[in-house]
Structure 1
Amino acid sequence: MASIIIMINLFGAVALLLFGLAQVKDGVSRAFGAQLRTGLANGTRGSLRSFASGFVATVALQSSTATALMVASFVERELVLPRMAQIVLLGANVGTAVTAWIVAAGTEWLSPLFIATGLLLYRGGSTGRKGGGLALVGIGLMLLSLHLLSSATEPMRTSAALAAFIGLLDNAWPVAMIFSAVIAFASSSSLAAIVLILSLSSAGILSPGLIIALVLGANLGGAIPPVVASLRGSAAAKRVTIGNLIVRALGCFTALPLAGLGADLMMELPFGPANLPVDAHLAFNIMLAAVAWPFSRLLARLMRLLVPDDAQEDTGPKYLDIQELSTPTVALASATREVLGIGDLIERMLMRTSDSFEQDNLVKLMDIPPLEARVDRLQQEVKVYLSKLGRMGLSPEDSRRSLDIIDYAINLEHIGDIIEKGLLTQVTKKAALGLKFSEDGHRELSTLFQLTLDNLRIAQTIFVTRDFPLARQMMEVKVEVRRMEKESSERHIERLRDGRLESLQTSSLHLDILRDLKRINAHIVSVAHPILDDSGLLIESRLRSVAELQPQPAGRRVHQS
């Protein structure tokens, strides 16, 4: 009976740790999700920045799996190079190890403070405060779970059965590594496995060599959940997660024969044997990153050979199931997923245009017409699908949501038209004629290109979450874009007056690109209109009536509150 109680306490503490991890992830995603995604997409233009982006994203989300899936989706949309994605995951692995080291730093006594502060913030009005509060509550629960794990493993010191089992593992380190990998995979968290190893280690029932073997297993098992989650994804996404698994597996199987020597070296460090699991976890991931980093390009090429390209994809809709029309909620969710896919196509078109603008690479522009054709077809399919849904009778709320989905799809289709008929022509002309903008003009256009991409990613988030603060922020962005376009035009005219040769040669091109990016941003901002309209913060016109502008006789003036 006593052993059953011990196991219940142990599994309960692990479950609390996993729940706390989930709350931290959800809270950070709610508060900073859009910024994290944008930062991760933008922070992969160099090896060091890629590593830092993976590290920061994982420490914030408390999940290397979430980071792996996020960067895999970026590779799938060709926003991140495969080689950089592998470096991002090396940073994510180190981020997980640093998180474990921080969690084990003896701060369990702060748990009530984190939970109390988190609850206070969660009751705040803004989404950011609620997300931050939820994250703090999750951190508090994680620290509390450490205390419970320590209490649960205390009786294990005198357990004869556990001592016999540990003895078997101590004589078979490969089995111990696989056992630990199964635990990490089952819990979908290498951090949970490391914390459990730390608790058992503190009970004094694990030898140093066995601790290293178990830590290696936790690293191996932690790389499997992203692979499983990406199995239904594209070949590009699978290459990223499988490549990370191969790197970790090679590192673990290489380090396993040296576990005894590694344990002896770690015991000589001044950190003390109590934190050997987290110290070994951090040391292993740092050394793995240092060794694997130079081979990231070779790994990306190898994964392209191991994972063949997908068969030619169907350009038709993926989620518009006629059978779901009988359930409006499900049908609207499917239409939303389809329109998000249209947004991803637009993002790819913008990325190709921006890259071609920067590099004068006409090859990247060749994909834009077929992508725009897919956008046209999909938005038409969405409109037909939702029109069929409307004939079945919808509630007022579902009817409004249906109209919002159609409106966003139409705006995305208009953006595709602007890219194909406007930006494509202008960027092609720049590259074909070898035209060069002035340094200031090039910087202004590059900044507006990047801002447009960032705004589109935020708009995708708003479309799904209907987040009110983000919608208000998006409306403010419209004013910022208008200001940037006006100031860039004025500075361009000044450069023309100064007789600068580059500005004279690219005058119409500069102004046309500015105009088209401004139009694209206007369509992007439209995603916020329904949300603000529902809140009563959007008026039909910003123009004051003529009657308001004309002076009225004193006796006839109408008092306005």
Structure 2
Amino acid sequence: MDFPVTLVSLAGAVALLLWGTHMVQTGVQRAFGPKLRAALGAALKNRLLAFFAGMGVTAAVQSSTATGLMAAGFVAGGFVDLVPALAVMLGANVGTTLIVQLFSFDVSAFSPALVLVGVMMFRRGSNPVTHDLGRVFIGFGLMLLALHQLLELTAPYEDAPSLRLLLGAVSTVPLLAVLLTAAATFAMHSSVAVVLLVMSLAARGVVPPEAAFAMILGANLGTAINPVLEGPSGNDPSLRRLPVGNLLNRAIGVAIGLALLHPISVLMVTLEPDNARAAANFHTFFNLALAAVFFPLLTPYAALLRRLMPTRIDPADPSRPLYLDNSARETPIVALGAAAREALRLVDALEAMLNGAIDALVQGDRKQIAGMKRLDDILDRLNTAIKAYLATLDHDELSQTDHRRMAEILAFATNMEQAGDVVDRSLLPHAAKRAKRGLSLPKASEAEIKTLMDRLIANLRAAAALLMTEDPRAARLLAAEKAAFRDAESAATRAHFEDMRMGRLGAIETSALYLDLLRDMKLINSHIVAAAAYPVLERTGDLLPSRLATNGD
């Protein structure tokens, strides 16, 4: 076979290996992604559990990058500390070696059976999980097939002078082998595929064991680069502590591995004469050794990362929490006060959204819509930060009153965020539709819209005051505001159907738009009332469990 043809075949086999790895990853993530993420999040409270969770999740999804991105998301959201997250990454690095260990044995004969079973599950399975697991089986079968092809394609060129010259240069300069495979792993987004490829080359004797071990060091380094570039973005360096910490301990391990490469190579080959198995064992040994060295040092290592990459709070960024003091967590009453103060910032953001909505609705200002969407993002981030902060409090230290107060703050924050979603997903699209179609509401309707929006903002301010005072009288007044919006919606509904009955075509579209706007404002007001009034009225016994009339008997 001509060399160009063989080169294309090699490239095709590598592509098949990558595609098989991709199918395994996507199949597992689709079938068990939420459960794996939940399991990972639950295990992050303890570093030892976090280590094994990282190993298990990575063994399932076949991607330490995916596990790293999950853990980085938990850290960026403030849900977990940096120490257990670093333990997850140590476990994830070990997890990637498990599939390599399996494929280091001659299991290529199972490839057709795996593909057959996978196709049957994929085509015939009515259950989505069965369908996704079919992808996993097909992926494993393709990976085995690709490895078998790589072995066959490289066999005729074991003694090719040009290949021997290239590999001789790589073998004599281990650092070059590290850099080449690190770049290849970064480009392929899969250390598993690169390590399996190196194992195939070592199995045929195309590369000597010491060069194969250097390449495996490069694969371990390259796979740590992707989470740094693809992790949480932003101007805050603290968001990159986890991926950078993982990259640094990998780099330290690679540097030590290079320094001790020759004696380690002699030891590994002595223990396992089979070059492919020796490469797989070295991959596992390297990651286990790295975990054993860094696991006891995670606390000071995390402190060093915090010092090197301190939290940067941009005062101009309104989505950054200002009052969630970590030092106050030891005193629940102080921490709850800080959370309540932060929740008031949700009111400020929602009020700004409502004011912008007035301009968009009454004046037809379409420029306001983009700004309102940014405010909704601020609401989402602040709400997440408040919940994460409260979740870190020691619930055993909270009294019954503290638990009730925490529930009230959580309900307030959730309803404020949901009210913002109504503005973003319903109210603003209606305003955009009005501007796009050139619909003109009657003057009376515009005045009514503005009046109700002003009333909505007044209710929002009352809710903010009620969160702090918890006054039952103010709660009853706020709850009574639901009647005003309910009456306005009923009157608009009757008017709209009257327009339809009379056949006033020009009025039907505007009355429908007016009715939609009123319904959106009614829903926003319901969230405002539920945020502050209902918890107080429920505590005082003034809130009925149902509006349904009860029988006299």
Give the equivalent residue in structure 2 for 1:387: 430
CA contact (8 A) 1:339 1:382 kept: no
**Distance change >3 Å, CA 7–CA 336, structure 1 → 2:** farther
One-letter code of the match for 1:194? V
CA gap 1:281/1:376 in 2 versus in 1, 3 angstroms = same
Change (3 A) 1:21 1:335: farther
State the alpha-carbon separation in 2 of the partners of residues 335 and 160 from structure 1: 66
Match of 2:34 in 1: 34
204-213 vs 74-83, greater mean Cα deviation? 204-213
- Mapped to 1, the partners of 2:374 and 2:54 lie a distance apart of 27
Percent identical residues: 30
In 1, are the aligned partners of 2:376 and 2:424 still within 8 Å (CA)?
no
Q: Name 1:300's counterpart in structure 2.
A: 302
Q: Deviations over 1:35-67 (max 9, x none)?
A: 011101001111210001100110111100000
Aligned: 1:190 with 2:191: yes
Query: Corresponding residue for 1:98?
Result: 98
Give the distance between the partners of 1:373 and 1:125, measured in 2 at CA: 38
Partner of 1:153 in structure 2? 154
Q: Give the counterpart letter for 1:40 in structure 2.
A: L
Q: Which residue of 1 aligns with 2:2?
A: 2
Alignment check: 8 A CA contact 2:24 2:139 kept: yes
Distance 2:184 2:148 in 1: 20
1:256 to 255, 258, 264: 258
Q: Structure 1 pair 370/72, CA: closer, same or farther in 2 (3 Å)?
A: farther
**What letter matches 1:120 in structure 2?**
M
SS of the equivalent of 1:280 reads helix
Aligned residue runs from structure 1 range 412-431, under 5 A: none
Aligned counterparts of 1:235 and 1:376: Cα–Cα separation in 2: 30
Residue deviations 1:499-549 (CA, integer Å, cap 9, x gap): xxxxxxxxx99x97xxx9xx9xxxxxxxxxxxxxxxxxxxxxxx9xx9xxx
Match of 1:355 in 2: 392
Unaligned 5+ runs, structure 1: 323-331, 394-413, 426-507, 520-542, 547-561
Cα pair 1:43 1:53 within 8 Å, conserved: yes
Give the deviation of 1:25 after TM superposition. 1.4
1:193 corresponds to which letter in structure 2?
V
1:139–1:163 Cα change, 3 Å: same
The alpha-carbon distance between structure 1 residues 154 and 306, as it changes in their structure 2 partners (threshold 3 A), is same
Q: Deviations over 1:253-296 (max 9, x none)?
A: 11101111001111121473332211110000000000011111
2:62 alignment partner in structure 1:
62
Shift of the 336–210 alpha-carbon distance from structure 1 to 2, 3 Å rule, reads farther
Matched residue count: 394
User: Quick one: distance in 1 between partners of 2:412 and 2:392?
Assistant: 18
Which residue is 2:457 aligned to? none
Maintained 8 Å contact 1:338/1:382: no
Cα distance in structure 2, aligned partners of 1:335 and 1:28: 38
Aligned residue identity for 1:17? L
Verify the 8 A CA contact 2:372 2:424 in the aligned structure 1: no
Provide the C-alpha distance between the structure 1 equivalents of 2:306 and 2:414, rounded to a whole number of angstroms. Answer: 27
CA contact (8 A) 1:156 1:203 kept: no
Instruction: Describe the shift of the 1:301–1:154 C-alpha distance in structure 2 as closer, same or farther (beyond 3 A).
Output: same
What pairs up with 1:408-487 in 2 under 5 angstroms?
none
CA contact (8 A) 1:72 1:241 kept: yes
Residue type of the alignment partner of 2:270 = E
- Cα separation, partners in 2 of 1:83 and 1:117, compared to 1, 3 Å: same
* Match of residue 274 from structure 2: 272
Match of 2:417 in 1: 375
* Change beyond 3 A, Cα 1:46–1:253: same
1:378 Cα shift? 4.3
> Contact between 2:78 and 2:389, CA under 8 Å: does it hold in 1?
no
The CA RMSD measured in Å over matched residues stands at 3.9
Whether the 8 Å contact between 1:17 and 1:141 is mirrored in structure 2 is yes
Q: TM-score normalised to the size of structure 2?
A: 0.64
Deviation of 1:208 (Å): 2.1
Deviation at 1:385, TM superposition (A): 3.3
1:335 Cα deviation after fit: 11
Once the two structures are superposed, what CA deviation does each residue of 1:294-314 show, in whole Å capped at 9, x if it has no partner? Answer: 111122222222223244233
Whether the aligned pair in 2 keeps the contact of 1:74 and 1:80 (CA below 8 Å) is yes
Q: 1:335 to 1:24 in 2, by over 3 A?
A: farther
CA contact (8 A) 2:114 2:137 kept: yes
CA displacement at 1:376 relative to structure 2: 6.6
The answer to whether the 8 Å contact 2:68/2:243 transfers is: yes
Shift of 1:84: 0.6
In 1: Cα distance, 2:83 partner to 2:397 partner: 22
Q: CA deviation at 1:377?
A: 7.6
Q: 1:350 to 1:15 in 2, by over 3 A?
A: same
Alpha-carbon distance, 1:78 to partner? 1.5
Give the whole-Å Cα distance in 2 for the aligned partners of 1:82 and 1:374.
30
User: What is the deviation of 1:248?
Assistant: 0.2
Give the match's secondary structure for 1:268.
helix
CA contact (8 A) 2:272 2:278 kept: no
The SS at the match of 2:393 is: helix
Find 2:318's aligned residue among 314, 317, 324. 314
* Cα distance change of structure 1 residues 158 and 47 upon mapping to structure 2, 3 Å threshold: same
* 2:118–2:136 Cα contact (<8 Å) kept: yes
Cα offset, 1:100, TM superposition: 1.2
1:360 Cα deviation (Å)? 3.2
Quote the Cα distance in structure 2 between the aligned partners of 1:368 and 1:235. 29
Question: What is the CA-CA distance between 1:370 and the residue it aligns to?
Answer: 11
C-alpha deviation, 1:382, in angstroms: 4.4
**In structure 2, distance between residues paired with 1:282 and 1:337:** 46
Distance (Å, rounded) in 1 between the aligned partners of 2:312 and 2:85: 19
> CA separation in 2, counterparts of 1:119 and 1:338?
47
3-state SS of the aligned residue for 2:318?
coil
**Tell me, which stretches of 5 or more residues in structure 2 are unaligned?**
320-348, 351-356, 358-368, 438-459, 472-534
Distance in 2, Cα, partners of 1:126 & 1:207: 47
Shift in CA distance, 336/129, structure 1 to aligned 2, threshold 3 Å = farther
Aligned equivalent of 1:289 = 291
How far is the alpha carbon of 1:206 from its aligned partner? 1.8
Q: Which residue in 1 is equivalent to 2:23?
A: 23
Query: In 2, Cα distance between the equivalents of 1:165 and 1:277?
Result: 20
Shift of 1:19: 0.9
Letter in 2 for 1:208: P
Deviation at 1:359, TM superposition (A): 5.0
Secondary structure of the residue aligned to 1:356 is coil
Shift in Å, 1:155 = 2.1
Q: Distance in 1 between matches of 2:137 and 2:222?
A: 27
Code of the aligned partner of 2:74: F
Partner of 2:142: 141
Matched to 1:2, the amino acid is D
Specify the code of the residue in structure 2 equivalent to 1:360: E
- Checking the alignment, whether the CA contact within 8 Å between 2:76 and 2:232 is kept in structure 1 is no
Q: Distance in 1 between matches of 2:286 and 2:109?
A: 29
> Does the 8 A contact of 1:184 with 1:222 survive in 2?
yes
2:417 corresponds to which letter in structure 1? V
Which residue of structure 2 aligns with residue 228 of structure 1?
229
